Structure 1
Amino acid sequence: MPARSGAQFLRGLRDRRALWVGGERVSDPMEHPALRGAAQSIAAVYDLHQQYPDDCLMADPETGEPIAVSHMIPRSKQDLLRRHAALRRVAEYSVGLMGRTPDYMNVTYAGFAGRSDEWGANGNEEGAANLVAFQKQLARQDLSLTHTLIHAMSDKSKGNVPAGFDETQLHTVEKTAHGILVRGARVLATLAPFADEIAVYPSQPMPGASRRHALSFCIRMDTPGLKFICRDSVSLPDNRFDHPLSGRFDEQDAFVIFDDVEVPRDRVFIDGNVAVYNSVMSASWRANAMHQTMVRAWTKLEFAWGLACRMAEAIGASDPATLQMLGEIWSYAELTRSAVRAGEEGAYHHGNGAWFLDGRPMDALRTVLPYWFPRVNEIIRLIGSHNVLATPAAGAFADAGLRPLIDKYLRGAGDTSAAERARIFRLGWDFAGSALASRNEQYERFYLTSGARNRQNVQMRADRREADRLVDGFLRAVK
């Protein structure tokens, strides 16, 4: 089937999934006020593909039907530039606030299928073939896919991955006539209420773990025994004046319990193959998946800079301190843009016919974005000062007695009206200070691992040859 519309996507969410928001089980996101806004936003993302087919759609290489460009297995640098345009379209819809729009997993699984040789190593040919077949299904049925990567460790002193066998962690229980039975828990499944299927794949090596924990698969969200417990919602009523972001972009996060879940055999990609589990994410994943994440980050930072500039202008703030803070956000946005472009320009054949970005600029961004995004929020709140708290609601503007007073006393600098000033500062607060903003800041701090751990990781795998050559040149010169 060709790429879906938003209405088709929404119809696909009406299933028997076991999903809880607060103490309430929810079967249809469109019927729950905490979920309706984000469901409509993901539907709008699907509709974007129909509105901008030149950017967002391509012909399936085998069937010729239109599929999302984010499902492309890049075969050249030009393919990556084409994918960039599609990723940018999606990122702009939520100005980067929704980090797990379906294109994230589309890009990820296209990369996995493109490097199926990595998945088929060490005798895992059947698992690799299953993955390739699923990636085609993902593209042709235009599914919305979430994932859960992190082992749900309750005791940090035991480490971040299982050591030996841990019955609370996701593991194989037994073989069945149709596949495998799995049990345990994982975190987090962002986008869980708005996904058709859920994916499990490695997040990091676990050299001391039992082979029963070495698992990768995809299953439907309504698979019996699969349970999702959502965090508290930060969604607010979809009032574009009062809550311009919180009414639409709470993508939700869920704790996942696998309570004796049967995974069909043709959906199993790794089953006990520790060698593949520990190696498959180490080679090309970053250079591929980071394309989506960093285009999103760049878009979000550009929006933040524009928003901060608009806030400063609305109150006539052009003092050196404000200009320095605005320039700081600009530098983050420009460095992110430059890194994305450098990654694309340095793209190369990563093997098996697949082309991915030069991963080094992406790795560098992973180390700094967890610090940049909280700083951006701080700057917006500093520029906003008390003004983010002096923003009448739409209802106050509609009051005939209040409106003249608001227009007189709460107007902005120059020709900025009171209503425009309120809209700007409400947008600033929703971006940097609301409950949604707090969730998003926490998300950015630990998105794709914390900045501190990423710094350790890049130091351990960085290519030191050029740096060592420069140092050695001086050391050899010393008599």
Structure 2
Amino acid sequence: MIRTGAEYKDSIRDGREVYVNGEKVADVPSHPMFKPLVDIRARIYDMAHDPATREVMTVTKDGEINAIGSALPYTQADWWAKRRATDAVLEDVGGIVTRVGDETVGEMWSLFDGQDVLAEIDPQFARNIETHIGKVLKTDPFHVSANTDPKGDRSKAPQDQDPDMLLHVVKETDAGIVVRGAKYETAAAYANQAFTKPTIANWGNDTLSDYAVGFICDLGSPGLKFICRTGFAGRAPTEDYPLSNRFDEVDTIVIFDDVLIPWENVLFYRHTRAAMFIRATLHRYSAFAFVQRNLKLADMMIGAALFNARQTGLDKQQAVQEKLSQLAVYREGINAHLTAAIALGERSPAGLMMPNQSLLYTGRVLACSQLHEMMHIARELCGGQICVTPDAASFRHPETKPWMDKYYTINDEWVADDRRKLLAFARDMLNSDYAGHRLTFQLFAQSPPFAHLAAVYRNFDWDGPLAFVKEAAGLSDRVMGEKTLTRGDSTVSKWFSMELERSGRKAAE
């Protein structure tokens, strides 16, 4: 059954070793660096029970109430329901949080689609993924995703340097596998479990590798250590930095110091073929919720910029209207990709409803590749005052308040305090340390830009343009040749091409 916020908070009081700012954290839920996001995640749990929001946040299946974000998608209606739930969360909390489960749990559905590949390696692995998807529905954990390793010298194979630079298996036991290494993961310090899997690695031509391992990790397991970056919360007053203090999702390097992973939690092991398949299909579902956050960020930039232009009357100028229109085009471009991805959804190999893969991945490239430009346009529209306005205390101090009121009040509608709040919001969204962190996070959170484009290359229907030009130019049938997929300057192997086809690239056919 769905949990309450209080039950979630109790679940992460499990004795885990968490470090931040050079100190060992005694209680994660109450620590000032983690409390804002822990409280938001607790609120998401409570929204499933709140009469005002429970209908949009839950789905009933076989007589049980489950969180809508974790439910497998079988129809277009399921995707519309997920989209409404994500919007409801972001609007309820008044900002953007990404690693809260609805995005990361979708990565497991890609494994659900790949059960035939996993079964060829070991039938138990295929059964394990089905079991864990059911477990997520039943127990409602806070589920995150672990991808990136420290990597070390990337010109060398993992075996040719410190082997722990990539997470790997060091021993098999009757109880499970023992793993060593490290992973970076946002929100791991205050989550329940993580789908842990290989990064994009160079295995060469190896068929088997101890680095090709994927599993569900209980984040309360012995041997785990969480070393977190310093958060933005508490650095400055919330009045001056309203986003930094409430929505900073703390990133963590998770140390696996000989951690036992029970066999029932192992999803694939040793076979590089399975690892490559998972990497190629990892975001076929989770990219939707990720891109949806960019849509909400576009709304935030438009709202802040438009308020700022209207309060000073600049919205009447054509140059300002053109820049606002650029933000609107960006916003509606993301909206169109998300909407079309649902409307033209594809049936997956396991019978799930996938968002249209080509439209989803091209939407992700649009959202991420243009974000920095849109932030700069929003900065221009908000004006230089977002970087020079004094802090909230200056608007209250008896000796400076009269001056702040004089120079920041525009009219009866826009008094000094409201204008200060708008400028503080815009500054934190566009100019602060938190803003720079968010920009980098959006660029790399699901994979680096080259991998975003590689996903487009694998999923775009190249045959359509080729066939059109063949007919329009009167070319012979032989020019179509034998279909091959290429990535960079190398041809993807025959089996990999087949797996991509089978995993849904042509599922609509």
Decide: shared fold, TM above 0.5: yes
What does residue 89 of structure 2 align with?
90
Cα distance in 2 for partners of 1:154, 1:315 equals: 52
* Kept after mapping to 2: 8 A contact 1:99/1:293: yes
Aligned-pair CA distance for 1:46: 1.8
Q: Secondary structure at the match of 1:466?
A: helix
Cα distance in 1 for partners of 2:201, 2:166 equals: 15
Cα distance in 1 for partners of 2:377, 2:269 equals: 47
Cα distance in 2 for partners of 1:131, 1:163 equals: 32
What does residue 265 of structure 2 align with?
267
- The AA in structure 1 aligned to 2:334 is T
Deviations 1:271-309 (A, max 9, x none): 2132222213434x4332122112222122122211221
Q: Secondary structure at the match of 1:185?
A: strand
Cα distance in 1 for partners of 2:244, 2:66 equals: 30
What does residue 496 of structure 2 align with?
none
Deviations 1:253-281 (A, max 9, x none): 11122111111111111121322222134
What does residue 121 of structure 1 align with?
119
What does residue 498 of structure 2 align with?
none
What does residue 192 of structure 1 align with?
188
What does residue 290 of structure 1 align with?
287
Cα distance in 2 for partners of 1:192, 1:167 equals: 20
Return 71-80 or 201-210, whichever deviates more: 201-210
What does residue 407 of structure 2 align with?
409
What does residue 221 of structure 2 align with?
223
Cα distance in 2 for partners of 1:43, 1:460 equals: 38
* Kept after mapping to 2: 8 A contact 1:216/1:269: yes
Q: Secondary structure at the match of 2:74?
A: coil
What does residue 172 of structure 2 align with?
175
- The AA in structure 1 aligned to 2:401 is R
Compute the TM-score of the two structures, normalised by the length of structure 2.
Answer: 0.86
Aligned-pair CA distance for 1:347: 0.9
Return 345-354 or 428-437, whichever deviates more: 345-354
Return 287-296 or 391-400, whichever deviates more: 391-400
* Kept after mapping to 2: 8 A contact 1:74/1:355: yes
Aligned positions of 1:295-334 closer than 5 A: 295-318=292-315, 319-334=317-332
Aligned positions of 1:134-283 closer than 5 A: 134-158=132-156, 166-186=163-183, 188-204=184-200, 206-208=202-204, 210-236=208-234, 240-283=238-281
Task: Classify 1:265/1:27 alpha carbon distance in 2 versus 1 (closer, same or farther; 3 Å).
Answer: farther
Cα distance in 2 for partners of 1:425, 1:79 equals: 38
Cα distance in 2 for partners of 1:185, 1:274 equals: 19
- The AA in structure 1 aligned to 2:420 is A
- Picking from 427, 430, 433, the partner of 1:429 is 427
Return 65-74 or 45-54, whichever deviates more: 45-54
* Kept after mapping to 2: 8 A contact 1:3/1:66: yes
What does residue 103 of structure 2 align with?
104
Aligned-pair CA distance for 1:426: 0.3
Cα distance in 1 for partners of 2:331, 2:288 equals: 15
Q: Secondary structure at the match of 2:385?
A: helix
What does residue 25 of structure 1 align with?
24
Q: Secondary structure at the match of 2:221?
A: coil
- The AA in structure 2 aligned to 1:184 is G
Deviations 1:356-403 (A, max 9, x none): 111111111222322222122212222233211343433333334433
How many percent of aligned residue pairs carry the same amino acid? 23
Q: Runs of 5+ in structure 2 lacking a partner? A: 477-509
* Kept after mapping to 1: 8 A contact 2:197/2:214: yes
* Kept after mapping to 2: 8 A contact 1:148/1:199: yes
What does residue 497 of structure 2 align with?
none
- The AA in structure 1 aligned to 2:364 is R
Cα distance in 1 for partners of 2:463, 2:273 equals: 28
Cα distance in 2 for partners of 1:437, 1:290 equals: 21
What does residue 37 of structure 1 align with?
36
Task: Classify 1:193/1:238 alpha carbon distance in 2 versus 1 (closer, same or farther; 3 Å).
Answer: farther
* Kept after mapping to 1: 8 A contact 2:365/2:453: yes
Return 334-343 or 71-80, whichever deviates more: 71-80
- The AA in structure 1 aligned to 2:76 is K
Cα distance in 2 for partners of 1:163, 1:370 equals: 35
Aligned residues: 471
Q: Runs of 5+ in structure 1 lacking a partner? A: none
Return 356-365 or 420-429, whichever deviates more: 356-365
* Kept after mapping to 2: 8 A contact 1:302/1:333: yes
Return 9-18 or 206-215, whichever deviates more: 206-215
Q: Secondary structure at the match of 1:256?
A: strand
Task: Classify 1:180/1:477 alpha carbon distance in 2 versus 1 (closer, same or farther; 3 Å).
Answer: closer
Aligned-pair CA distance for 1:111: 4.7
* Kept after mapping to 2: 8 A contact 1:14/1:27: no
* Kept after mapping to 1: 8 A contact 2:41/2:100: yes
Compute the TM-score of the two structures, normalised by the length of structure 1.
Answer: 0.91
Task: Classify 1:8/1:141 alpha carbon distance in 2 versus 1 (closer, same or farther; 3 Å).
Answer: same
* Kept after mapping to 2: 8 A contact 1:411/1:421: yes
Cα distance in 2 for partners of 1:273, 1:437 equals: 40
Alpha-carbon RMSD:
2.5
* Kept after mapping to 2: 8 A contact 1:104/1:292: yes
Return 271-280 or 326-335, whichever deviates more: 271-280
Cα distance in 2 for partners of 1:173, 1:462 equals: 39
Deviations 1:116-169 (A, max 9, x none): 52453323321121122122222222111222112321223338x878994431
Return 345-354 or 365-374, whichever deviates more: 365-374
Task: Classify 1:427/1:53 alpha carbon distance in 2 versus 1 (closer, same or farther; 3 Å).
Answer: same
Cα distance in 2 for partners of 1:412, 1:128 equals: 64
Cα distance in 1 for partners of 2:31, 2:324 equals: 39
What does residue 348 of structure 1 align with?
346
Task: Classify 1:203/1:345 alpha carbon distance in 2 versus 1 (closer, same or farther; 3 Å).
Answer: farther
What does residue 500 of structure 2 align with?
none
Return 208-217 or 446-455, whichever deviates more: 446-455
Cα distance in 2 for partners of 1:262, 1:357 equals: 36
Aligned-pair CA distance for 1:311: 2.0
Aligned positions of 1:367-446 closer than 5 A: 367-412=365-410, 415-446=413-444
Deviations 1:401-451 (A, max 9, x none): 433332111123673111111000100011111111111011012122233
* Kept after mapping to 1: 8 A contact 2:212/2:271: yes
Cα distance in 2 for partners of 1:351, 1:477 equals: 35
* Kept after mapping to 2: 8 A contact 1:33/1:237: no
Aligned-pair CA distance for 1:191: 0.6
1:57 maps onto 2:58 in alignment: yes
Aligned-pair CA distance for 1:349: 1.5
Task: Classify 1:220/1:477 alpha carbon distance in 2 versus 1 (closer, same or farther; 3 Å).
Answer: closer
